[in-house]
Structure 1
Amino acid sequence: MATIVKTPSGTWKALIRKTGWPTTAKTFRTKRDAEDWARRTEDEMVRGMYIHRAPAERMTVEAALKRYLREVTPTKRQSTQIGEHKKAQALIKHLGKYSLAALSADIVAQYRDTRLAGDEDGNGKRVPRSNNTVRLELALLGHLFTVAIKEWGIGLPFNPVSNIRRPAPGAGRNRRLTPAENKRLLAAVDTYSNPMFSWIVRIALETGMRLSEIAGVRVGQVDMLKRVVRLEHTKNSSPRTVPLTKAATSGFQAALDNPLRPPETDLVFFGEPGRDGVRRPYLFDKAWTDAKKAAGLTDFRFHDLRHEAVSRLVEAGLSDQEVAAISGHKSMQMLKRYTHLRAEDLVGKLDKLAQ
């Protein structure tokens, strides 16, 4: 039986001691509420369905996310760590004050809808978030609950994120370079003071490698004799070997022969030393923005170079399997999203079939 006692402050405390279960207590405003809770809890214990909710009621979403960022996030790739810290800030802003026990599926659904509709910026203007951004934020929140339940022993009956609809993935970008845009872009990058910028852009156009993959390449990964680059750390965690076109080979050869290469780093594309004296990959955000402006490119991102490269490989006649081996796509569906053939380029092929 539960013990119900009145506290000095005038509230009522229910205390349950039952063999095989941890001592459980909770305070209520009225005696009847305390008795009802004690009766329900004892019944759950008898039926083997009791969940110790106190830790979930005490831990806020903000505290849980901070613990996740300390314990779980550091086990992931550097690029993933940066992204999770950013996503956590949005979750903390909207949901941080809720306890894990109080965060229900309808509250998470409201968060989803609010983010898709857009948060207000400093000028009172709503800034909508993309489906993919919100989907990834929900994925982080969902995994937080999974870890809390399975590893931290936080008593929760279910994961609230698993009970809501996730925003559908975007249709994928369809931005291709026209021949004139391609010419202007290469001319713009070639005029930049640091030649590494030009080499990186040209390699991206020739190989379809991601920016993180190019930036992280070490000297030992480039085999100029066989004309391949062996990537050890990729987005999908599967190492792959990328064959190099003649233009890509020239870009890597120029980078390897760079007379300014410092002896303390083996990065092919190296930046200035940080405060700790360590050289990290070369960054060129401003140079990229300036080059796009000089080339007159609108709505064009660096990652679109990967789309362009993969589409060119398909247009060159390579099979889907061959393109996937170069680009690293694990499924043909994902490869399809990254491959955008120009309809006008297919007209000639259709005419040949009709002959």
Structure 2
Amino acid sequence: MATFSQLPSGKWRAQIRKAGLYRAASFATKREAKDWATQVEAQLNHIATGGYAPVPKGATLGDLIDKYRETAAQRAGKTKEATLLMLGRELGKVKLANLNAVVLRDFIDRRQDDGAGGVTIAADLSFLSAVLKWGRHARQLDINDRLALDARASLQHRGLKTRSKERDREPTDEELSRIYGLWATMKRQQLPMQTICQFALATGMRQGEITRLEIEDIDQQAKTVVIRDRKDPRQKLGNDQTVPLLPDAWAIVEPIIQERKTGFLFPYDGRSVSASFTRACQELGIDDLHFHDLRHRATAQFFRMGLDIPRVALLTGHKTWAMLRRYTAIKPSDVHDAIKKVA
């Protein structure tokens, strides 16, 4: 039960103690204090019964998404940020208390009508699930954090494919030779694109990782480099990894660090690197080839060199065999070559 006391100032103070929880506030009138106490007692009863706080009256999904973006999604990637903004537009006005399976069914219908495929909608619902889980477990709100996951599971019953086709595109020697040749003829080409590509092929690093490498993180004795905040599905910030620089990579690094002792190893905008690669492919008529495909070829080459799974995973940063398997691209001829090496 709430207790009320009048302060020397004439204001009224309400205090509530229940199930180990304490709330207190002061009001101009006793009526305001009683109204507040009634509302808070209901909330505390809810918490005492279920362990979670009731959803604030009038709170919307948009409110929760905004709060999530402010606190839990700092430095979110472009895709995640864009998806959260879209969810805010599409579902932001829905009151949290009214969020249910039918609301998400209608959301999926609208996304399909807009032309979104199963993979895209599945990603939308995964991001929504992250928001709901955050609301339940970080804010202790009594919301169903399974709603989005259940909606995602329903996609297969709609006949929608939720997994993208695994990409196995690798640049061929002939394609790389043509691309390098084009860059050699471009007098205004300021980026050392051939060197950057050869470094990508020698390390298996992502474009963003390459342009973030710092000379101070290179150990000349051990011939290693630290990749800061390496991409990880569960942990990105603080996920620093020390990786070896194999001979081909070290041959590129060594002359650079002899000239410069600090700063980025490749001090160029990653977007410019990607754009330059894309333009070269377009000009040469090379279809469906991206800078990231260099990582695919590099990873496959590590296996062809005879490196085992743990050593390849150290180089590429993959956490599981399931994640790494799509990059193997081992051919029958590779098996024969491996046997010849052993013999």
TM-score (norm 2): 0.71
Give per-residue Cα distances to partners, 1:56-93, cap 9 Å, x unaligned: x512222221221111112xxx4x34333112122123
Query: Aligned-residue CA RMSD in angstroms?
Result: 3.6
8 Å contact 1:200–1:251 — kept in the other structure? no
CA displacement, residues 166-198 of structure 1 (integer Å, 9 cap, x when unaligned): 464334211122221122233334455224333
> Aligned residues: percent identity?
24
- The one of 93, 114, 123 equivalent to 1:97 is 93
Judged with a 3 Å threshold, the aligned counterparts in structure 2 of structure 1 residues 177 and 254 are, in CA distance, closer, same or farther, namely: same
1:269–1:282 Cα contact (<8 Å) kept: no
Corresponding residue for 1:185? 179
**Corresponding letter in the other structure for 1:297:** I
Alignment check: 8 A CA contact 2:61 2:88 kept: yes
Taking structure 1 as reference, are residues 203 and 295 closer, same or farther at Cα in structure 2, changes over 3 Å only?
A: farther
**Match of 2:287, SS?**
coil
Counterparts of 1:1-355 in structure 2, within 5 Å, are 20=18, 23-24=38-39, 48=49, 53=54, 55=56, 57-74=57-74, 78=75, 80-112=76-108, 114-115=110-111, 117=112, 119=114, 126=115, 128-129=116-117, 131=119, 133-166=120-153, 168-191=162-185, 193-236=189-232, 237=236, 238-256=239-257, 266-271=263-268, 283-343=272-332, 345-346=333-334, 348-349=336-337
Q: Label 1:301 to 1:218 Cα distance change in 2 as closer, same or farther (>3 A).
A: same
Please tell me the residue identity of whatever aligns with 2:147. Answer: P
CA contact (8 A) 1:204 1:211 kept: yes
Alignment partners' CA distance in 2, 1:158 and 1:207: 40
Distance 2:252 2:182 in 1: 16
The DSSP-based 3-state class of the residue aligned with 2:80 is: helix
Q: Specify whether residues 255 and 102 from structure 1 end up closer, same or farther in structure 2 by C-alpha distance, changes over 3 A only.
A: farther
Q: Secondary structure, in 3 states, of the residue corresponding to 1:250?
A: helix
Q: Distance in 2 between matches of 1:220 and 1:19?
A: 57
State the shift of 1:110 in Å.
4.2
Distance 1:157 1:19 in 2: 28
AA aligned to 2:264 is L
Q: Deviations over 1:111-158 (max 9, x none)?
A: 34654x462xxxxxx3x3461x43333222112112222333433255
In structure 1, how many angstroms separate the alpha carbons of the residues matched to 2:51 and 2:243? 55
SS of the aligned residue for 2:97 comes to: coil
Q: Which stretches in structure 2 are left out of the alignment for 5+ residues?
A: 1-15, 20-36, 154-160
Whether the 8 Å CA contact 1:215–1:282 is kept in 2: the answer is no
TM-score, normalised relative to structure 1 = 0.69
CA deviation after TM superposition for structure 1 residue 98, in Å:
1.2
Matched position secondary structure for 2:326: helix
Give the letter for the 1:341 counterpart.
Answer: I
**Partners of 2:17 and 2:229 in 1: how far apart?**
52
Per-residue deviation, residues 269-310 of structure 1 (Å, max 9, x unmatched): 224xxxxxxxx7673343122121234321122211111110
Alpha-carbon distance in structure 1 between the residues aligned to 2:124 and 2:165:
19
How far apart, in 2, do the equivalents of 1:235 and 1:163 lie?
Answer: 27
